[in-house]
């Protein structure tokens, strides 16, 4: 069984994935794969450079993520163009990574992706687990973590799927605003249910 783990920016997806990993569950992170496909020499990086120009490439030939982020979060059409370049390549590589993980005979595996629903990656999973926190928490965490101002943090949050829409598509939800102990209890309970799949309500 493949569990898709998603949530808005700075909701704590990686923290939750590490908690499952401590229980022996392997995972693949779509953000890691998204970084892989724009490494120097990758076709996606060349296509990004062709479309967005030299301003998004560093002197050593790498992607300038901050410069690109400023462009795509200020212009939805540019963001859609970036997604058209990257999403199909990310999905292809995720499929390969998941196949290798499934071959390891773990009780289940995780696909951690901030764009699980938006990119169509939900089609790769059996259940969708949403990590949820209030938007105010997302904004504060994003500003502190990514060294951006509050306005840009709000723009990043606003560019993602609205929180109610994300929750409406969830099969399972973890509240990651209630503290470490509460998070550990929720992960342990879901791990038990995922291992005993007969205890799960059917996905919609």
pLDDT tens profile 86-131:
999 999 999 999 999 988 888 999 999 999 998 899 999 999 999 9
- Mean pLDDT in the chain? 93
Output the pLDDT for position 54. 94
Confidence band of 152 (pLDDT split at 50, 70, 90): confident
| Burial (Cβ within 10 Å: 0-12, 13-18, ≥19) of residue 111 | buried
**75 secondary structure, DSSP code:** -
Task: Flag whether pLDDT at 173 surpasses 60.
Answer: yes
Q: Please give the average per-residue pLDDT across 56-73, as a whole number.
A: 94
Q: Please give the average per-residue pLDDT across 20-31, as a whole number.
A: 96
Tokens of 87: 């999403």
How far is 138 from 141, CA to CA, in rounded Å?
A: 5
Q: Please give the average per-residue pLDDT across 31-36, as a whole number.
A: 94
Output the pLDDT for position 198. 59
Output the pLDDT for position 200. 67
């Amino acid at each position: 069984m493949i569990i898709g783990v998603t949530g808005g920016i700075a909701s704590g997806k990686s923290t939750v994935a590490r908690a499952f990993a401590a229980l022996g569950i392997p995972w693949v992170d779509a953000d890691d794969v998204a970084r892989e496909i724009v490494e120097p020499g990758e076709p996606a990086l060349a296509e990004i450079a062709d479309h967005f120009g030299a301003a998004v490439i560093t002197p050593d030939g790498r992607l300038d993520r901050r410069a690109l982020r400023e462009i795509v979060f200020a212009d939805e059409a540019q963001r859609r163009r970036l997604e058209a370049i990257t999403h199909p390549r990310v999905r292809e590589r995720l499929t390969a990574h998941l196949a290798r993980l499934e071959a390891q005979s773990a009780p289940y595996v995780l696909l951690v992706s901030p764009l699980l629903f938006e990119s169509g990656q939900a089609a790769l999973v059996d259940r969708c687990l949403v990590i949820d926190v209030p938007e105010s928490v997302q904004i504060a965490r994003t500003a502190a973590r990514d060294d951006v101002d509050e306005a840009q943090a709000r723009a990043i949050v606003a560019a993602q799927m609205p929180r109610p829409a994300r929750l409406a598509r969830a099969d399972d939800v973890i509240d990651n605003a209630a503290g470490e102990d509460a998070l550990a209890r929720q992960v342990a309970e879901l791990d038990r249910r995922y291992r005993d799949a007969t205890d799960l309500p059917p996905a919609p």
